[in-house]
Structure 1
Amino acid sequence: MKKILLSILFINLFCNIYCQNTIGTTSLNENVTDGYTLFTIHEKTYLIDNCGQLINSWTSNFPPGNAVYLLDDGSILRAGKTSSNNVPIGGQGGVIEKYDWDGNLTWQYFIDTPTQRQHHDIYPMPNGNILILAAELMSEAEALQAGRNPANLSSSNLYNEQIIEVTPVGMSDATVVWEWNVKDHLIQDYDMSLDNFGVVADNPNLLDINYTSSGSDSANWLHVNSIQYDETLDQIVISSRNVSEIYIIDHSTTTAEAATGSGGIYGKGGDFLYRWGNPEAYKRGTSADRKLFGQHFPHFIRNSVADNGKLIVFNNGNGRNPSFSEVYVLNPPSTSPGFYSDPSVNTQPYGPLTPDYIYSATNPEDFYSPIISGAQRLSNGNTLIMEGTKGKIFEIDASNNILWEYIIPVNASNGNSQSQGTDPVSFPNNSFRATKYAPSYSAFSGRDLTPGQPIESNSDIASCLFALNSESYIEKNILIFPNPVLDFVNISSDFSIEKIEVLNITGQLITNIKNQNRLDISALKKGVYFLRMTIEGKFITKKIIKN
């Protein structure tokens, strides 16, 4: 009976301490995936553990522009936003930077001219090259000659979205080794005397230059917000927010082939191999057939126990009524890997008609981010989701149970850390994307991963550390005996214990000891205590009962 009462007391205290957290790690289940989560906000990039403890951080002179990646050598590759007014576009960037693990700037490359500017996304290629998403100005005359209806041209320019692949050179230069431009893959049925005239519905591999959705008659008619590369297929996945479509193109082409409709592994040059989300955009459906609404971060799922080879995408839901967000997983129909079923023979839209998997909140309107955001399928089948406009990162399991929730505790306007207890809606904490990396990722090999303090001030993570006290999570066998204990407690471990801290049930530090495996606790009062041990840079917590 005494043990039951103690357990109830512990559970109540756990909730009283932990459930009041408003920022940082606000909820956690011990089945959360072990790993470290990366995100960027204001001028800093953060790497945190599941309790929100800081593992590493990097500081730039530029706010996000927008993507960031942790490379396998421990460096980060980050896009930054310059202060220029060149090629104004949502998600504008202008500079790509690489910092080593220790925060030293090792490469900085600008794409920021009066006619061309990097924006939104970049991608580190397996061979060390970098894919860069850029917007390039098309003059009014060029846009009209390409077949743009003047009624759909509210600006004197139109943006050509392009993907540029570069090889870094030295500290601040690069060599362009490949290029793709959407302006080379257009169609229009407006005027047969102009370029690109044809039947739109008969050419789903091309982009209708006159399809417009709300607000897309501006220069930024496409608003491509993501580029992701799939090494397995040598294909690139891109996302147009304004058209609400995903496109897949062949990367195996030469630059010359990428400007045409032939060549490459898949024989279609730089034309679309596949598209999905809005068949109305290529006249194979109506607005009722639309599946995507301002989506972000479509990419192939790889190295996961669930849905390998399928696409995952964050469907923002911007523009539909009511407004709510979802995560989709879909399986593009194909005749063989990378060769997608061509709907042109039957005038049907690209399949599938419905996703294989949809995540939304129980009350759909509780989960909504009109812009930015993303989702990542983890190796164990769980899914990490970034609700970007709320600065909210959470992980769900295969049954859609929320295992972890983290509210970014940084003001996006000035970079200031907030204090625990702050209402998260009282400050802007929007962030573009979050990525979780497994502890086995090569970037962490030989690194000091000793957790620091959480980002937020006045942090309260004792209950989080207690919740992670499970053998499946720490993957290390630790034996504590005797327990209950009267005077001396012994700790047996296969690894060196760097430090032991004794905490009371409220999380208050009682004492700490270094490099010992036997503790004298005879002076402590009877009750429940916790031993927080630092082993190989990780906090591992065990409960003991003092008789």
Structure 2
Amino acid sequence: MKKFLLFLMGLFFPMTLFSQGTFFAPYEGWSSGPMTVTISNTPTSVIYYTTDGSEPTLNSPSATNSVEVPISTQTTFKAFAVRNGTPTPVETMTYYIGSYSMPKAFFKPPSSWNLSCGNRAIVEPRTLLDLDMSGGPVMDDACEGWKTVPIPFAVGYISFNNCIPWSQNYQSTPGFLFSENIFYDYSNGMITNPPACLLNSSEIQGKVAAIKVFPNPVQEFLKISSDIKFSGYEILDESGRILSQSQLEGNNINVSKLKSGVYYLRLKSSEKVNHYLRFIKK
């Protein structure tokens, strides 16, 4: 499987290099210690970049062809290139150094399931992994019927299933993009606050951030309700591609121009922590 994946990368990377505005190296987004990040483009292009997650402009630090930036802490790069007077799209890459915060996932299956599995896919830190066609590892007991599975990433996808992916009796939830603790009841859907039995255990520690977006599904304006102050937002499609981004003024986001479908809202707090919420556009 690994050789097959590398073969696909051999086909995919040249297309990626051709189509992307910038290219970040190393490809993997995690290092055990300090590292140097290279941002490159065509020999005659000028690269503009930031290292604090802010949007780069023509006044940002720049370099011709490529630039090497040493980092020793978690860093979010954003960069674009100007080729023959034309700017390319902004590319984003976050590098994680040493240990980092990983969310937890909890799921309450229906009583008819004998086993529950959590199928996980990493978004950040970016890495190369074999494709998992097994449905994911079997989940452990948490409390009062709730199950849990270790999460090996800072941002990623998860879906929950009954561990028999090749059977006609296979059942699964939708997939969710998340970076905060997630609680999903198969019968009732996503819940904002953890069950009491988890709050009374060592599984959940510290304050749980309560964030709600409504109406959901939404037609025109998505309203945010939370005690957290957010500085900006991004709207992503199900593949993780950024469709729009802006500073957040007030608690309403106009989504009327989006096509019908499933999207993710990434909210950025003043502490530079990202919160992901799923919503449906009518």
Q: Could you tell me the TM-score, scaled by structure 2's length? A: 0.34
Structure in which a larger fraction of residues adopt helix: 1
- Larger radius of gyration between Structure 1 and Structure 2: 1
Structure in which a larger fraction of residues adopt strand: 2
